[in-house]
Amino acid sequence: MTSPTSGRARQAARNDVTILAAAKEVFLADKRAPVAAVADRAGVGISALYRRYAGKEDLLRKLCHDGLRTFIDQAEQASAAADDWAAFETFVHGVVDADVHSLTVHLAGTFTPTDEMSADAVRADELASALFERARPQMRPEAVPADLTMLLEMCAAVRVPDPVRTTSLRRRYLAMLLDGLRAGAALPGPAPTWLEINWRWLPRPDDPAVNSRE
């Protein structure tokens, strides 16, 4: 027989999934939206949301950390492939299909990362760089891991109202981008710098989207 406690726990878990899905939709549309808009979209009371998250920053941090963990999972799974280019390509396709970068790029700088997030970010970078290095012999000689970051962001920028069509278009342009990454004519201009890759994560205390309970 199911106990009332276990029933409440399952309901809380369902609420959390619903809240996170709603938060992704709301904050992708407007990162300055209040948490009340998330509760409305999720169809739950604001108290149910606050039982899970102390405020907007906690919710933003959870969304981005989940995306970071998905990135790591995709990289770890792809690393098992024996063929170097296949491992790299599988990883990139997995990250694009999981829509990891839409939120991380859009919400960067709107919350303070935890130490755990920072450690996971280092792990994600190590895994992605290792996969890149495995595939490097088949790439243009001037390609660098930072180029991969920009390519993933380009794919994340592709978005139309139909989610299925969005996925289809992203795969189309990812195929073009991967072909462009393979060995060929020299690329114009220098690769992106560390600052160009990470500027969005630098503190911006004047941003009104940062850490408001509402």
- Give the tens place of pLDDT for each residue, 175-209: 989 998 987 767 677 777 878 777 767 766 555 54
Question: What share of the chain in percent tops pLDDT 70?
Answer: 86
The helix/strand/coil state of 182 is strand
Among 28, 25, 19, residue whose Cα is nearest residue 58: 19
Q: Are 124 and 113 in contact (CB under 8 A)?
A: no
Answer whether residue 210 shows pLDDT above 70.
no
User: Which helix (DSSP H) or strand (DSSP E) does residue 210 occupy?
Assistant: none
Work out the average pLDDT over 125-148: 93
Q: Backbone phi, then psi, for 194, in 5-degree steps?
A: -60, -45
Residue 192 is predicted with a pLDDT of 76
Report pLDDT digits (tens) over 45-102: 898 899 889 899 999 999 999 999 999 999 999 999 999 999 999 999 999 999 988 8
pLDDT at 214: 52
